[in-house]
Amino acid sequence: MRDSTTKAMAGPRPVVLSGPSGAGKSTLLKKLMKEYDSVFGFSVSHTTRKPRPGEENGKDYHYVTREAMQAGIDKGDFIESAEFSGNMYGTSKAAVQDVQAKNLICILDIDMQGVRNIKETDLSPIYISIQPPSMEVLEKRLRDRKTESEESLQKRLHAAKVDMEFSKEPGVFDVVIVNDNLDEAYGQLKHTLLEEITKVKKINMSS
């Protein structure tokens, strides 16, 4: 599902982080938001999946029922939405607007369907794919994270194969970062975003 009528909203260029579940998107973006808390803001998605221990409603996701989510989509409240591993996920217009209203760089953590759908809007983000070094490493990281049932793990691994191929399609991503060593991957992420970070710092200092 997508909304091609979304108008470009004022402020700096958003950033999309995508890639397989377990590739390290949350780890990297949390590091980034910690180091640059006055530069980046997270687009809090809606989901029908259950919160994991330690996750907070309104911070990691807005946890909703399928009915509530569908009602929001029908009302036109969402920029994009997708089904992933048996649950619904979506970016509301408000999630992005809340961040952009603060003049922060909006970061979206979305799957490949989300990437396809955002490309049909005029949000015009920087597209970054975070990839694991191999399927074997990905499986180990997902198992060690201990958040998934065996069924959910298998669904994520299946989706990961498709995602890894998608990331190789020319022109889809501006940058593909292989998250092998965390510090190196983080360095590459910062390097990719340096220009935008500098712009936002300048604007926010002069205002």
Ligand X SMILES: Nc1ncnc2c1ncn2[C@@H]1O[C@H](COP(=O)(O)OP(=O)(O)O)[C@@H](O)[C@H]1O
- Chain contacts with ligand X (rule: CB under 6 A): 21-27, 141, 144-145, 179, 181-182, 185
Which candidate, 87, 88, 90, 66, places its Cα nearest to that of 77?
90
* Binding at 182: pick from ligand GDP, ligand X, none (beta carbon under 5-8 Å per type): ligand X
* Binding at 114: pick from ligand X, ligand GDP, none (beta carbon under 5-8 Å per type): ligand GDP
Q: Quote the distance between the C-alpha of residue 138 and its chain's center.
A: 18
Does 109 participate in binding ligand GDP (rule CB under 6 A)? Answer: yes
Residue 4: strand, helix, or coil: coil
Q: How far apart are CA 185 and CA 191, in angstroms?
A: 10
Report residue 207 as tokens: 């205002």
Q: Based on CB atoms, which residue is closest to ligand GDP, 3 or 111?
A: 111
In angstroms, what is the minimal distance from the CB of 22 to ligand GDP? Answer: 6
Q: Which of 66, 116, 143, 145 is catalytic?
A: 145
Residues 97/87, Cβ–Cβ less than 8 Å:
no
Residue 99: strand, helix, or coil: helix
Residue type, 70: Q
Based on the residue annotation, tell me whether 52 is a catalytic residue of this protein.
Answer: yes
Report residue 73 as tokens: 């989509």
Based on the residue annotation, tell me whether 66 is a catalytic residue of this protein.
Answer: no
* Binding at 27: pick from ligand X, ligand GDP, none (beta carbon under 5-8 Å per type): ligand X
Q: How far apart are the first and last CA of the chain?
A: 37
Q: Determine which residue in the list 6, 48, 100, 113 makes contact with ligand GDP, applying CB under 6 A.
A: 113
Does 89 participate in binding ligand GDP (rule CB under 6 A)? Answer: yes
Q: Determine which residue in the list 12, 32, 40, 91 makes contact with ligand GDP, applying CB under 6 A.
A: 91
Helix H or strand E segment including 16? strand 15-18
Q: Quote the distance between the C-alpha of residue 124 and its chain's center.
A: 14
- Residues 35 to 74: which contact ligand GDP by CB under 6 A? 45, 49
In angstroms, what is the minimal distance from the CB of 109 to ligand GDP? Answer: 5
| Residues within the interface to ligand GDP (CB under 6 A) | 21-22, 26, 45, 49, 80, 82, 84, 89-91, 109-111, 113-114
